[in-house]
Amino acid sequence: MKTEFETLLVTRPREHVGLITMNRPEVMNATNTRMGQEMMELFESLMLDAGDLRCLVLTGAGSKAFCAGGDLKERNGMSNETWQRQHVLFEKKQRALMGCPIPVIAAVNGVAYGGGCELAAACDFIYASETARFALTEVTLGIMPGAGGTQNLPRAVGTRRGLEIILTGRPFSAEDGEKWGFVNRVLAPDRLIPEALDTAERIATNAPVSIRQAKQSVLRGVGLSIWDGLSFEIEAYNRMVGTEDRIEGVKAFNEKRKPKFKGR
């Protein structure tokens, strides 16, 4: 995985775990064209080859913001054509994130408005600081959510709650997000990254093929009927029967030791 970027910091704080930090704190980590390109490049590379990475944590630099959405200073005065070209880039970035084969945990450390809220919603689940605030503010700017917000958020909180959030543009707290099923855990600011990394590390100790197949089964299955979902699940399950990790897992259990999974 490439680690040198202009707008992102990419580190490996734990074995098999990557930490991606959006690094434009001077503008509350707002997404400009460069950041969109770099995030797209990063997540598309992971779709092709994640190497020995088994889980990721996505956060923002500083204590004020996860991501304040699109960089409206860059967008000020953009022609319609330039705006649409940039948005295609943002769409591809978002689809690459959602298509990432390994789990991605959002560690929301502050404001997550507009595209920032959509970024968090596109991750597999969310840990949030007590200071985090979420909003889909697009309708207050003459546009609408266009990077998965109208799809991912209602799937998490329900259609009626989702409509209220999207149509009002009103912010909501981390505590409300947890109550509504959007946020998994609310943590003290100094515990956010350590707890997210602990969970990522726990995921990374499990069998890599199992994690990938289970993630795909859940995310694909929720859009299917229960019967089609069951069919997809068993196809995903059967791919693991012949793996070395399945044999190692059973052997380690019987030998009363921790398994040594290799992703094969």
Could you confirm whether domain 208-254 is CATH 1.10.10.10?
no
| Exposure on the CB side of residue 156, measured as CA atoms within 13 A | 25
Express each pLDDT in 147-177 by its tens digit.
999 999 999 999 999 999 999 999 999 999 9
Q: Are 89 and 33 in contact (CB under 8 A)?
A: yes
Express each pLDDT in 3-62 by its tens digit.
789 999 999 999 999 999 999 999 999 999 999 999 999 999 998 888 899 999 999 999
Q: Which CATH class is domain 8-204?
A: alpha beta
* The Cα angle at residue 50 between residues 49 and 54, in degrees rounded to 5: 155
Q: Are 9 and 20 in contact (CB under 8 A)?
A: yes
DSSP symbol at 227 = H
Q: How confident is the model at residue 251 (pLDDT cuts 50, 70, 90)?
A: confident
Name the segment(s) of the chain with CATH classification 3.90.226.10.
8-204
Express each pLDDT in 130-152 by its tens digit.
999 999 999 999 999 989 999 99
pLDDT for position 257: 85
Instruction: Point out the residues that are catalytic.
Output: 118, 138
pLDDT for position 248: 84
Tokens of 184: 């998994």
pLDDT for position 183: 98
Q: How confident is the model at residue 244 (pLDDT cuts 50, 70, 90)?
A: confident
Has residue 87 got a pLDDT over 80? Answer: yes
Name the segment(s) of the chain with CATH classification 1.10.12.10.
208-254
State the Cα–Cα distance between residues 56 and 200, nearest whole angstrom.
7
